[in-house]
């Protein structure tokens, strides 16, 4: 079994490694309030035992888990939602209105992903997706608000990475739970306290205009920190927002200029590795590529889908 790895971030927020694919790739978050718990993002089915172990350490009974909140329905964020809803009998699932039907009936989600990864690889990575009773699902529109044991959480619609993506504003921590909308920043790539951040332009919803607006919306909340699913907390958001905006533009330019998908992939790879090296990062090119391989693949695929759609218009 995987080992539980977590760290406290202050404001009763805990970052947990979901152990998806490799350590340090994907996290989820526990918020504790008055002996109750809410989880933001879930990892996959295989993350569930880790979350149970953490609750035990914190002496929070499974009955006191009030909310399961995937930021969007991509499976590294929501793949374990059905399993957690089984384990936590009093929990309510909060999800973007565009994602709800796939939580009630995940068969299309599973079929789609199995087609991409192959059935056996899907099972290995995610297990079987578990349907969730409609009665236990709350759809959060833009501006929706809950009071979790007195703690106010506000949901904002943030398309661009995915149409079914919201972010959550937590007044208590002056923080944002951003899923994939505020980019990806792996801890290994942080140099002198400065994270290296980039937009995961994954298939099939990538939309640069929407995404740039979503970043503006996030910045307009005047939050002081963001809790990224990939991976951990970042602060001093302004320069990070600027880098994200710039890289969304650069990625779309590279997509337009590259004569083929293979060329695009090698251009994205070269761009990211050159940029990271210019920060003074001392990791070898080989190690950098290991860290980024999956993202480079998804970024390329997402840009290709976007380019096809935008040229078909």
Q: Name the residue nearer to Zn ion (CB basis): 36 or 161.
A: 161
The reply to whether 98 sits near Zn ion by the rule CB under 5 A is no
Strands 65-69, 145-148: pairing kind: unpaired
Cα Dmax for the chain: 57
What letters, b where the CB count within 10 A reaches 16 and e where it falls short, cover 50-60? bbbebbeeeeb
Exposure on the CB side of residue 205, measured as CA atoms within 13 A: 17
Q: How far is the CB of 25 from Zn ion (least distance, A)?
A: 12
The correct pick among 36, 74, 225, 247 for binding Zn ion (CB under 5 A) is: 74
* Count of beta carbons in the 10 Å neighbourhood of residue 89: 10
Stretch that binds Zn ion, among 34-42, 119-127, 128-136, 178-186 (CB under 5 A): 178-186
Q: What are the residues facing 16 on neighbouring strands?
A: 6, 28
Strands 92-95, 65-69: pairing kind: parallel
How many whole angstroms separate alpha carbon 27 and alpha carbon 16? 5
Alpha-carbon dihedral 46, 48, 50, 53, rounded to 10 degrees: -150
Q: Name the residue nearer to Zn ion (CB basis): 54 or 78.
A: 78
At residue 260, the 3 state secondary structure works out as coil
How many whole angstroms separate alpha carbon 47 and alpha carbon 68? 13
Q: Name the residue nearer to Zn ion (CB basis): 111 or 204.
A: 204
At residue 39, the 3 state secondary structure works out as strand
Q: Quick check: 82 and 106 in contact, CB under 8 A?
A: yes
Q: How far is the CB of 78 from Zn ion (least distance, A)?
A: 9
Q: Name the residue nearer to Zn ion (CB basis): 64 or 300.
A: 300
Q: How far is the CB of 274 from Zn ion (least distance, A)?
A: 25
Could you give the string, one character per residue 125-164, with x where binding to Zn ion holds by CB under 5 A and - elsewhere?
Answer: ----------------------------------------
Stretch that binds Zn ion, among 68-76, 104-112, 235-243, 286-294 (CB under 5 A): 68-76
Stretch that binds Zn ion, among 132-140, 179-187, 204-212, 275-283 (CB under 5 A): 179-187
* Closest CB to Zn ion: residue number: 74
The reply to whether 180 sits near Zn ion by the rule CB under 5 A is yes
Q: Name the residue nearer to Zn ion (CB basis): 36 or 74.
A: 74
Could you give the string, one character per residue 217-246, with x where binding to Zn ion holds by CB under 5 A and - elsewhere?
Answer: ------------------------------
* Residues contributing to the site for Zn ion (CB under 5 A): 74, 180
């Amino acid at each position: 079994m995987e080992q539980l790895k977590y760290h406290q971030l202050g404001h009763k927020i805990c970052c947990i490694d979901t152990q998806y694919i490799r350590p340090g790739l994907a996290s989820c978050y526990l918020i504790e309030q008055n002996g109750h718990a809410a989880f933001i993002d879930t990892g996959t089915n295989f993350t569930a035992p880790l979350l149970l172990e953490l609750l035990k350490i914190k002496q929070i009974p499974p009955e006191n888990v009030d909310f399961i909140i995937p930021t969007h329905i991509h499976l590294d964020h929501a793949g374990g939602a059905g399993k957690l809803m089984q384990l936590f009998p009093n929990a309510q699932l909060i999800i973007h209105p565009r994602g709800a039907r796939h939580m009630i009936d995940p068969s299309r989600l599973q079929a789609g992903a199995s087609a991409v990864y192959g059935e056996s690889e899907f099972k290995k990575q995610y297990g079987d997706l578990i349907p969730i009773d409609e009665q236990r699902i709350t759809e959060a529109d833009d501006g929706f608000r809950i009071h979790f044991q007195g703690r106010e959480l506000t949901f904002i619609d943030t398309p661009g990475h995915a149409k079914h993506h919201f972010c959550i504003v937590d007044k208590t921590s002056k923080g944002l739970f951003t899923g994939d909308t505020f980019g990806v920043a792996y801890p290994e790539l942080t140099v002198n306290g400065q994270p290296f951040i980039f937009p995961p332009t994954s298939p099939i919803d990538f939309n640069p205009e929407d995404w740039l607006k979503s970043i503006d919306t996030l910045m307009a909340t005047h939050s002081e920190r963001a809790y990224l699913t990939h991976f951990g907390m970042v602060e001093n958001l302004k320069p990070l927002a600027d880098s994200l905006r710039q890289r969304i533009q650069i990625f779309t330019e590279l997509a337009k200029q590259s004569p083929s998908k293979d060329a695009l992939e090698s251009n994205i790879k070269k761009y990211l590795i050159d940029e990271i090296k210019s920060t003074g990062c001392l990791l070898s090119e080989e190690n950098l590529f290991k860290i980024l391989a999956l993202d480079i693949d998804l970024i390329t695929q997402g840009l290709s889908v976007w380019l096809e759609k935008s040229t078909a218009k």
